[in-house]
A and B are shown apart, each in its own frame.
Chain A
Amino acid sequence: MRTKKSSLAWLMDLLIPLVALAVLVLFNLIRDPEFFRVTIEWSEGNPRLDGNLISIIDSASELAIIAMGMTLVTASCGGQDISVGTVGAIAGAIFVQTLVRMGPISVLTVIGALLVCCLGTILFKLFNGTLVAVFKIQPMIATLVLYSCGRDIGYMINGSATEELASPVIRAIGIRIPGVPVSTPFLLVVLVGLLLFLFFRLTNIRLYTQAVGVNQGAARLNGIQPTLIKLLSFVILGICVAVAAVIGVARMGTLTPKTLLADIEMDAILAVAIGGNSLGGGKFRLSGSVLGAYIIQMLTTTLQNMGVGSEHIRAYKAIAIIIIVTAGSPVIKSWFTAMKNKRSASADAASLKGVG
């Protein structure tokens, strides 16, 4: 009985995002089954998949990666980092400038630039993390500093020049590797997800993070260092931001600090919340956040396919989000549980009667 329950626990945790996804899929099926058509196209002898689903999976990549890091910060600090988009602009600037200085673009230089870029974002995130963990400032306020000036720092690093990164390597990162039908950004999401999964499987960090999020004092008394755990979550977020920024730059083939990863912080927080994670810290589920990211992107694509203009999409998106979070609200949830209990109670009573 117990094993059965625990094996189904993850399903219960992911109930809201899964139901939301199911409703979206159902809605699209009724509206236009063509929405789900996936075709294989051949361009220059290379196969590539095409269709709405593929474009959803592809364009939600940055959001999914950042949502994973955001989940960790949310879980350990009980607050959100609102500077991910602006630090992403800094990361993009560092990446582009390092790449340009390193000479001709090759796989090696790209990896080198990515490492430098990771280092840079980790430093910036450590600044945020220090404010949160050492100075005990609320995360939203601590990250407000970089939120308000991050893009300007990115602009300062990048200068006014817009470098065109025309290289097959960059195209391979941003679009797809020749011969592989799936887009590279999606593969990177899988890679980052896998690495994080292994990291949490092989270490106790998951438990520690949740412990710090639930009760910092108790965690400290049990020998966990809350400061270190919080800083670690910010470091992981930094790496996520760097990867997302490199994807963003590679996708466009050029850098514009003003628009790179614009408004992604709010979407990332939404993804975390839709994924069933508490924004107050504590227990977390990375898969929920990734699902949340794809739900948001699917919503956007559905609205676009329905002919809603890009300017107006936000209002409809907001309404859909309100419906999703209302459906997942504690009151509605407990109402459902009460209904279920009532049913099972009456069933029990019926069976008792039968026995009697």
Chain B
Amino acid sequence: MTVQKAKTLTGKKEPLSNTMLLMLVSIGIFIAMYAAAVIFNAKGFRNPKMFFDLLNENSMLIIIACSLTVVMIGGGINISVAGVVSLTCMVDALYLQKSAVASPFLNILISLGIALGIGLAFGAFQGFLISHLEIQPFIVTLAGMILARGLTTIVSPGGKPVDVNASGAVTAMWDARINIPWFTEVTEKVKLGKVTQTVVSTDLEIGTLVALLVLVLVFLLLRYAKLGRNIYAIGGNQQSAMMLGINVKRTRFISYVISGLLSGLAGFIFLMHAPSAKTTVAARGEMDAIAASIIGGTLLTGGVGNVFGTFFGVMILATITKIIGLSDVNESFWQNIASGAMLGLFIMLQSVILSVRGKGKIHLPEWLKFIKPKGDPISPAK
């Protein structure tokens, strides 16, 4: 650390923090993979619509991955995120189905309130158990996940899916999506002398915009707010954070509350994207979110991480799934095996890069250094 400081002062070499390096790696992997998909034109990747589809389909995952990153930087973990998503989804759907309120705007507000309330309840409860009673976060949030999933099946009408396609709130949200005009494709077909037009428009859903907004907000929070710096500090070294006068318990508690709130929001957004709630919503979503955070450069040990990296982690996972899903592989088990193998490859690649860097064999070119954060997170190289 002192050596790094000295070098910075003399202005010679500024070593990149591991967070940034891992994020750059994940960005690089994403670009390489997307470029490969475009070049080989795995069905439809040459169409810019694909990118927006990926964003729209994964808005929920982006939010829960962000919420997980916050907790993971603080040195904890939250497995209950996907469970909370399924619960809020189900409760909101039931509300929208039975709601007597006519105004779609009010319905949206109320269901958003329900979603945030459920998320807050889970976040605060788990945060209290973890920060104040010092129970291992893995176990608490695992129990939280089981509880949320169990409540989902209890609340759901006989385990059947709840459809809210007809709800005014959903239609309003759907209509409010933003059309991106210059990517709209109009194909004309001449059939029996009649010209039929099919318009395939490229849209950005409101939910996706919210997800991107959350991404930026969380980034700003972690980077510039006092709370964010405190979260980095308690994740890097709890003892020294305490000695610096940081209220470790409160900071940890708040990080879980943020995570819970974002999970609730994700549930609401998911319901607006796919207007039906099932008990299997976001199945294994927690593992996807953890994988996305890790691929994006967040360490489970805490103190290291960046939400933009997480975003690219989500996009990498989504692209893998899409490529394999669209290719000519028919049997579904090959899809999972291939995506598992790719995941393993990325994880190993990261580890190799970090270890090679530790031995000082990689020197990053000058032009990559402009992204270095001003204040390095309180985390030495791990």
Identify the A interface with B (CB < 8 A): 79-80, 82, 131, 135-138, 140-142, 144-149, 151-153, 155-156, 266, 269-270, 273, 278-280, 311-319, 321-322, 325-326, 329-332
Contacts and interface: CB of A to CB of B under 8 A. Distances in A.
Interface stretch (B58-66, B89-97, B226-234, B342-350): B342-350
Given A141-B291, A147-B287, A318-B150, A269 B138 contact: yes
25 contacts: A131-B347, A135-B348, A137-B347, A141-B290, A141-B347, A144-B290, A144-B343, A145-B340, A145-B341, A148-B343, A149-B337, A149-B341, A151-B336, A152-B337, A153-B333, A266-B142, A273-B139, A311-B153, A314-B149, A318-B146, A322-B140, A322-B147, A325-B140, A329-B129, A330-B134
Contact of B136 (A135, A279, A319): A279
Interface string B135-156: 1101110111011011101100
Contacts of B140: 322, 325
B137 to A, nearest CB: 9
Contacts of A152: 332-337, 340
A322 B157 CA distance: 26
Interface string B237-251: 000000000000000
B294 interface: yes
A142 B347 contact: yes
A89 to B, nearest CB: 11
B262 to A, nearest CB: 21
A148 B287 contact: yes
B343 A135 contact: no
Contacts of B339: 148-149
B28 interface: no
B171 interface: no
Given A148-B343, A155-B333, A319 B300 contact: no
Nearest to A146: B340
A145 B347 contact: yes
B150 A313 contact: yes
Contacts of B5: none
Contacts of A319: 147
B271 interface: no
A140 B154 contact: no
Given A152-B337, A329-B134, 15 more contacts: A82-B287, A136-B351, A141-B291, A147-B287, A149-B340, A152-B334, A273-B138, A273-B139, A315-B147, A315-B150, A318-B147, A325-B129, A325-B139, A326-B135, A332-B133
Nearest to A320: B143
Interface in B278-313: 284, 287, 290-291, 294, 299-301
B132 to A, nearest CB: 7
B341 A273 contact: no
In this complex, the member of B135, B301, B339, B341 whose beta carbon has the largest number of chain A beta carbons within 10 angstroms is B135
B41 interface: no
A275 B151 CA distance: 26
A316 B150 contact: yes
Nearest to A257: B333
Contacts of B290: 140-141, 144
A30 B229 CA distance: 52
B352 interface: yes
Interface in B206-222: none
B159 interface: yes
Q: Is the interface of B mostly helix, strand, loop or mixed?
A: helix
Contacts of A279: 136, 138-139
In this complex, the member of A311, A317, A332 whose beta carbon has the largest number of chain B beta carbons within 10 angstroms is A311
Nearest to B338: A149
B153 A148 contact: no
B4 interface: no
Contacts of A331: 132-134
A115 B162 CA distance: 48
Contacts of B136: 273, 278-280, 325
B276 to A, nearest CB: 19
A270 B146 CA distance: 11
B26 to A, nearest CB: 14
In this complex, the member of A266, A273, A318 whose beta carbon has the largest number of chain B beta carbons within 10 angstroms is A318
A316 B333 CA distance: 34
A154 to B, nearest CB: 9
B143 A318 contact: yes
B99 interface: no
B47 interface: no
Contacts of B291: 141, 144, 148
Contacts of B179: none
A148 B139 contact: no
Contacts of B133: 326, 329-332
A144 B287 contact: yes
B355 interface: yes
Contacts of A142: 347
A328 B9 CA distance: 50
Nearest to B153: A311
A322 B340 contact: no
B89 to A, nearest CB: 16
Contact of B337 (A135, A136, A141, A153): A153
Given A138-B299, A144-B287, A312-B154, A325 B143 contact: yes
Nearest to A321: B143
Contacts of B154: 311-312, 315
A28 B86 CA distance: 33
A141 B294 CA distance: 8
B127 to A, nearest CB: 13
B153 A314 contact: yes
A138 B348 CA distance: 11
B150 A314 contact: yes
Contacts of B301: 138
Given A141-B300, A141-B347, A135 B146 contact: no
Given A145-B340, A145-B344, A140 B150 contact: no
Given A148-B336, A279-B138, A325-B135, A140 B143 contact: no
A147 B135 CA distance: 25
